[in-house]
């Protein structure tokens, strides 16, 4: 078996398809070499060798690959006309790590490997450039010392001992830049560096080039199991046996003087997606100098340079003199580079992120890969490439990462402002977007300032109105499906939940974090996409739904077979969702309508009533409000189906808990405060999520179901009179037994018939149920006999299948994920292995009874791409998700079908 793959001089053993074996970097180096791009010759040690190393250890692995490596080095030597370790005509090499996917935590690259006190003389003589030679030597000792000999500790606070020595010397010389060191300075640095190595490690710096090479190769393998890499791997679920490849390559020198340099470039704009070649370079520089930020890099193109000067407020004369573009400074090299970027983009059919170096007027390409990009750029590039006939329609759709569309759907922070931001804590990125506002701690004070951040230990349905008013929502407790998170996502409102580091004191109206106190009215900013909580104001920019975005959505609908509905409780949400292309409403939570100030009173009176008569009286007040809500929603949906769920939450959530509100309610109802308190206490439950809620309410108080049914049917009839079609689907929540469903179905049907008689008119409507209790999934065939449709309430189904209380899981789920007990939060990503089985089974059982049973999902998972794919495979008719996730689900549905 081959363990070492060579490349160079328009030839390669490997190619770009071999990423698993050669790593991303190695596979692309091979491909570039094969298609005639000038890459310095070299070779790649396969990822399999990394795995072998982990099993066999250093000595055995060196034995395994020694001959192949010697041969491969010899190949580089003959192509470059120089010799590894030779005193007169030395070949230097770089050792680069490279896993299948680019990964932080992997070993940094070592450049200029092969130098020692003898070789350095040869390098200086051969090139006639002493300064360059010693600059390379000091870089080598620094890099090798840091990454192979462990001179740099993992902790962020420690400074690199080599940097310390350099800073010291710069102070002594009164200079600022590395480029200002004299040859003698560089020699002193090399000496001091080696001294520091001896002091810290107890060993001399290795002088034998082969020993250096093996040291670096083994260090790359070891870095695969380093703490940072393991952490990152676990986070993304990358298995340990992937391993990393090692790339060894002849050095080319960008630090040889004014006719040399190094840079990075992109074939298109990674921020906006604009089809313009762009990038940065530095003259007389090596490796990471461009990204290190010590010198101001120059732009590749003249256009880029002009744009840069405008932003940096640099005068044209100054720009042309000190910061000319590569296009202006080295037109020949620029032309060649431009040719390669065009060739590579055409070849890979994707935006490329490239590294290059010019050595004394000769251009070399050192890396290419598909470039990372923003959501906006992703959409534009995919659509542009389709129009440019580079990729097909289907390919364009598959290029879009559904979850990244989220960025396009919420206001965002200005990236430049974010760089300067002071992050004070982090929570869960519960609902993306950007929000800046003044701290308030009570929902009814959300309008105290123009822009507020509602900050709560946790939120409850009582806070709904305040949440709607606030710019952003911050909670100290609760997970990704906590009340705050779910509601915020529905509203498309930025929210960070479960920020455990915050201590919130309602009494003093303060927020404490890390010993620092923030008061009501202080400005803070939330980055809902990262979970970062930032001190003060951060500038935001409004999202733009560009033309390409709309085009991608149109393409999605061409391929999607499974429909996408939305969860919407108000006409406003319904309209937003329709504008995003929702094909119906999969869930209207009727209880949310009751939380508005004037309604909650009637609701409370209903709950507190002691008699059926009293209850009916209060319900009569609620009926017109509910009816007009439904009219608004039906009208917004214009003939698309609307699933209305009957009252679901435990009644306790509706009653007042503060003394003040209890008192005023007592007054309104002409009863004593004591009576209110007793009733509130009566309603309290040990385990409300498994308590008196869902259809259990409708069974104990059928008059509630009657009123809600009446509101739905009357609203639909009223619209019919106006010539608008309404397609209500009434849904019974939390059904576990057939009898529960039958009893509610009877009430609904009777009420509907009564209304039809009264109005002497009728409409079509469906009666179905949520499948959210595991028992319902088990007897789904029986329920299907009577139900017109199923909708999987996967939030509750997950909660009950796992036995994890949604509202308490925030305490242990993060630890579970950290320890790898769970890969992901099952409330975010549907657990296909377990909960998914319930979904599959219930769908099959249901359809075995009723082949055309309509089946959908309305849990939070309806907007998660991998869950959408699962729903497609399971044969669901639709997924339903919050309005702002509709485009994501539409794309995911199309991708599933392609
Ligand atoms: P990373 O994966 O962090 O980008 P790289 O292996 O690409 O690390 O290398 C780091 C830097 O060193 C890059 O700027 C790269 O272009 C440069 N480099 C790597 N190998 C060579 C080489 N043989 N000659 C010149 N520069 C090199
Ligand atoms: Mg690189
Ligand atoms: Mg439920």
Ligand nearest to the CA of 102: 1
The arithmetic mean of pLDDT across residues 417-437, rounded, is 86
- Measure 449 CA to ligand 3 centroid, in angstroms: 35
Q: Give me the residues paired with residue 45 across strands.
A: 4, 246
From the CA of 111, the nearest ligand is 1
639 with 725: CB under 8 angstroms?
yes
User: Would you say 696 is a known binding-site residue?
Assistant: no
Q: Could you tell me the CA-to-CA distances from 456 to 437, 453, 502, 524, 817 in Å, in that order? A: 14, 10, 10, 14, 25
Closest ligand 1 atom number to CA of residue 291: 14
124 and 138 in contact (C-beta within 8 Å)?
no
Question: How confident is residue 579, by pLDDT bands cut at 50, 70 and 90?
Answer: confident
Backbone region of residue 785 per phi and psi (left: phi > 0; alpha: psi in -120 to 50; beta: other values) = alpha
Nearest CA to ligand 1 atom 26: 287
Which of these, 329, 258, 266, 272, lies nearest to 298 by C-alpha position? Answer: 329
Ligand 1 atom with the shortest distance to the CA of 355: 16
Q: What are the Cα distances from residue 10, in Å, to 141, 349, 532?
A: 32, 21, 48
Q: Taking residues 544-569, what's their average pLDDT?
A: 90
497 touches 428 (CB < 8 A): yes
Question: Who's near 59: CB < 8 A, 6+ residues apart?
Answer: none
| Whether the Cβ atoms of residue 105 and residue 231 lie closer than 8 Å to each other | yes
Handedness of CA 502, 504, 509, 512 (dihedral sign): negative
pLDDT tens-digit map of 808-860? 888 899 889 888 799 889 999 999 999 999 999 999 999 999 999 999 999 88
Number of residues written out for the chain: 898
Joined together, the tokens standing for residue 224 give 């695969």
Q: Residue 816 burial (CB < 10 Å; 0-12/13-18/19+)?
A: middle
Taking CA atoms only, the protein residue closest to ligand 1 atom 6 is 96
More confident residue, 532 or 156: 532
Q: Position of tokens 């008061």? A: 519
Distance CA 172, CA 166 (A): 10
**Which of 43, 252, 287 has the most ligand 1 atoms within 8 A of CB, as the residue to mutate?**
287
d(CA 794, CA 776): 13
For residue 793, how far is its CA from the centre of ligand 3 (angstroms)? Answer: 5
Give the pairing of strands 766-771 and 789-792.
Answer: parallel
DSSP string, 142-183: HHHHHHTS--S-S-SSSPPHHHHHHHHHHHHHT--SGGG--H
839: nearest Cα among 826, 820, 823: 826
Q: Which range among 106-110, 218-222, 310-314, 762-766 shows the weakest confidence by mean pLDDT?
A: 310-314
Question: What whole-number distance in Å separates Cα of residue 465 and Cα of residue 726?
Answer: 28
Ligand nearest to the CA of residue 770, numbered in listed order: 3
The superfamily CATH assigns to domain 4-250 is: ATP-grasp fold, A domain (3.30.1490.20)
150-162 pLDDT, tens digit per residue, is 887 655 455 678 9
By alpha-carbon position, which residue is closest to atom 12 of ligand 1? 287
796 among annotated binding-site residues:
yes
Report yes or no: 98 and 43 within 8 Å, Cβ to Cβ.
no
How far, in Å, is the centroid of ligand 1 from the Cα of 274?
27
How far apart, in whole angstroms, are the C-alpha atoms of residue 287 and residue 428?
36
Residues, CB within 5 angstroms of ligand 3 (ion): 772, 793, 796
819-857: string of b/e by CB count within 10 Å (b at 16+)? eeebeebbbbbbbbeebbebbbebbebbbeebeebbbbb
- Establish whether 793 is an annotated binding residue: yes
Instruction: Give the residue numbers annotated as catalytic, written as ranges.
Output: 483, 858
Q: Is the pLDDT of residue 82 over 60?
A: yes
Q: Which atom of ligand 1 is nearest to the CA of 247?
A: 6
What architecture does CATH give domain 420-541?
3-Layer(bba) Sandwich (3.50)
Enter the ipTM: 0.95
* Residue 378: strand, helix, or coil: helix
Domain ranges of the chain: 4-250, 261-373, 420-541, 560-650+685-897
Confirm whether residue 877 is marked as ligand binding. no
Which ligand neighbours the alpha carbon of 736 most closely?
Answer: 3
* Structure confidence at residue 530 as a pLDDT band (50, 70, 90): confident
Nearest Cα neighbor of 423 from 540, 328, 513 is 513
Mutate-to-test residue for ligand 1 from 111, 142, 372, highest number of ligand atoms within 8 A of CB: 111
**336 annotated as a binding-site residue:** no
Query: 252, 80 in Cβ contact below 8 A?
Result: no
Tell me whether domains 420-541 and 560-650+685-897 share a fold: no
The phi, psi pair for 363, rounded to 5°, reads -95, 135
Q: Is 505 annotated to bind ligand?
A: no
Q: What is the pLDDT of residues 787-813, one digit of tens each?
A: 999 999 999 999 999 999 988 888 899
CA-to-CA separations, 763 to 551, 575, 596, 604, in angstroms, rounded: 36, 23, 30, 32
Cα 700 to ligand 2 centre (Å)? 67
Rounded distance between C-alpha atoms, residue 34 and residue 15, angstroms: 8
What is the number of the ligand 1 atom nearest to the C-alpha of 93?
23
Residue 539: what pLDDT?
86
Question: Which residues, chain by chain, have CB under 5 Å from ion ligand 2?
Answer: 367
**Cβ atoms within 10 Å of 761's Cβ, excluding its own:** 12
What share of the chain has pLDDT > 90, as a percent? Answer: 70
> Which H or E element spans position 504?
strand 503-505
Helix (H) or strand (E) holding 280: strand 278-283
Query: What lines the ligand 1 site, CB under 6 Å?
Result: 40, 94, 96, 109, 111, 249-252, 287-288, 355, 357, 366-367
Question: Higher pLDDT residue, 668 or 125?
Answer: 125
Q: Which atom of ligand 1 is nearest to the CA of 288?
A: 14
Q: What is the residue-averaged pLDDT of the chain?
A: 91
135 in a labelled binding site: no
Question: What's the token pair of residue 458?
Answer: 């946790």
pLDDT at 250 exceeding the cut of 90: yes
d(CA 804, CA 482) in angstroms, rounded, equals 13
For domain 560-650+685-897, give the CATH superfamily.
Answer: Phosphoenolpyruvate-binding domains (3.20.20.60)
Q: Hey, what CATH class is 261-373 in?
A: alpha beta
Q: What is the dihedral of CA 14, 16, 20, 25, to 10 degrees?
A: 90
Longest dimension (CA), the chain: 105
CA of 50 to the centre of ligand 1 (A): 20
- The alpha carbon of 355 and the centre of ligand 2 are apart by a number of angstroms equal to 7
Indicate which residue's Cα is closest to atom 20 of ligand 1: 94
């Amino acid at each position: 078996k081959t363990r070492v793959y060579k490349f160079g001089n328009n030839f390669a053993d490997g190619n770009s398809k071999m990423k698993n074996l050669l790593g991303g970097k190695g596979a692309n180096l091979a491909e570039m070499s094969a298609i005639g791009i000038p890459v310095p010759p070299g070779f790649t040690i396969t990822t399999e060798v990394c795995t072998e190393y982990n099993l066999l250890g250093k000595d055995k692995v060196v034995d395994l690959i020694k001959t192949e490596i010697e041969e491969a080095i010899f190949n580089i030597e003959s192509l470059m006309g120089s010799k590894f370790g030779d005193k007169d005509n030395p070949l230097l090499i770089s050792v680069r790590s490279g896993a299948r996917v680019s990964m932080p935590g992997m070993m940094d690259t070592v450049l200029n490997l092969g130098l020692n006190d003898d070789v350095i003389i040869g390098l200086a003589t051969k090139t006639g450039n002493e300064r360059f030679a010693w600059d390379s030597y000091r870089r080598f000792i620094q890099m090798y010392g840091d990454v192979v000999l462990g001179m740099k500790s993992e902790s962020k606070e420690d400074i690199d001992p080599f940097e310390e020595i350099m800073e010291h010397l710069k102070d002594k010389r009164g200079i600022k830049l590395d480029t200002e060191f004299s040859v003698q300075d560089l020699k002193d640095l090399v000496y001091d560096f080696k001294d520091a190595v001896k002091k810290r490690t107890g060993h001399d710096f290795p002088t034998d080039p082969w020993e250096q090479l093996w040291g670096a190769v083994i260090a790359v393998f070891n870095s695969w199991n380093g703490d940072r890499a393991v952490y990152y791997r676990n986070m993304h679920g990358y298995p340990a046996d992937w391993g990393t490849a090692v790339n060894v390559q002849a050095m080319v020198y960008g630090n040889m003087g004014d006719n040399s340099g190094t840079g990075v470039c992109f074939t298109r704009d990674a921020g906006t997606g604009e089809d313009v070649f762009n990038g940065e370079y530095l003259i007389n520089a090596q490796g990471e100098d461009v990204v290190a930020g010590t010198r101001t890099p120059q732009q590749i193109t003249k256009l880029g340079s002009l744009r840069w000067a405008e932003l940096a407020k640099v005068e044209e004369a100054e720009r042309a003199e000190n910061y000319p573009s590569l296009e202006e400074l080295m037109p020949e090299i620029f032309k060649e580079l431009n040719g390669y970027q065009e060739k590579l983009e055409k070849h890979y059919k994707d935006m490329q992120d490239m590294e290059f170096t010019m050595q004394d007027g000769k251009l070399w390409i050192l890396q290419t890969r598909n470039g990372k990009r923003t959501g906006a750029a992703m959409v534009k590039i995919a659509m542009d490439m389709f129009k440019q006939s580079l990729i097909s329609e289907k390919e364009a759709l598959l290029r879009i990462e559904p979850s990244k569309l989220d960025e396009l759907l919420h206001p965002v922070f200005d990236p430049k402002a974010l760089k300067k931001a002071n992050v004070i804590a982090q929570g869960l990125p519960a609902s993306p977007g950007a929000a800046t506002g003044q701290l308030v701690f009570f929902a009814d004070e959300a309008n105290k300032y123009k822009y507020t951040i509602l900050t709560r230990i946790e939120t409850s349905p009582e806070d709904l109105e305040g949440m709607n008013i606030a710019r952003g929502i911050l909670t100290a407790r609760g997970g990704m499906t906590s009340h705050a998170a779910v509601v915020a996502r529905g509203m498309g409102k930025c929210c960070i939940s479960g920020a455990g580091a915050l201590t919130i004191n309602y009494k003093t109206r303060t927020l404490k974090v890390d010993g620092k106190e923030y008061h009501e009215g202080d400005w803070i900013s939330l980055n809902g996409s990262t979970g970062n909580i930032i001190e003060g104001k951060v500038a935001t920019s409004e999202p733009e739904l560009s033309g390409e975005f709309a085009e991608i959505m149109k393409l999605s609908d061409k391929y999607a077979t499974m429909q996408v509905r939305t969860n919407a409780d108000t006409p406003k949400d319904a309209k937003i969702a329709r504008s995003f292309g929702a094909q119906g409403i999969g869930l209207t939570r009727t209880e949310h309508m009751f939380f508005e100030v004037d309604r909650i009173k009637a609701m409370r009176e209903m709950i507190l009533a002691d008699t059926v008569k009293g209850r009916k009286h209060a319900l009569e007040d609620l009926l017109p409000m509910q009816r007009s809500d439904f009219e608004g929603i039906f009208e917004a949906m214009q003939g698309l189906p609307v699933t209305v769920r009957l009252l679901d939450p435990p009644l306790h959530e509706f009653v007042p808990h503060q003394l003040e509100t209890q008192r005023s309610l007592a007054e309104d109802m002409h009863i004593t405060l004591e009576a209110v308190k007793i009733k509130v206490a009566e309603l309290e439950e040990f385990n409300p999520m498994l308590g008196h809620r869902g259809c259990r309410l409708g069974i104990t108080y059928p008059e509630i179901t009657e009123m809600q049914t009446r509101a739905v049917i009357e609203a639909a009839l009223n619209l019919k009179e106006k010539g608008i079609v309404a397609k209500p689907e009434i849904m019974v929540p939390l059904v576990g037994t057939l009898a529960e469903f039958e009893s509610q179905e009877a009430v609904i049907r009777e009420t509907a018939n009564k209304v039809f008689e009264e109005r002497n008119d009728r409409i079509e409507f469906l009666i179905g149920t949520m499948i959210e209790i595991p028992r319902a999934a088990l007897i789904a065939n029986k329920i299907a006999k009577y139900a017109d449709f199923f909708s999987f309430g996967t939030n509750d189904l997950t909660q009950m299948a796992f036995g994890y209380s949604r509202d308490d899981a925030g305490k242990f789920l993060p630890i579970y994920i950290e320890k790898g007990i769970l890969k992901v939060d099952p409330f975010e990503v549907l657990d296909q292995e377990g909960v998914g089985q319930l979904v599959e089974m219930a769908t099959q059982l249901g359809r075995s009874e009723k082949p055309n049973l309509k089946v959908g999902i309305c849990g939070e998972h309806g907007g998660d791409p991998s869950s959408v794919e699962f729903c497609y495979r399971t044969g669901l008719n639709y997924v339903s998700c919050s309005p702002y996730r509709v485009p994501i689900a539409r794309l995911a549905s199309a991708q599933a079908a392609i």
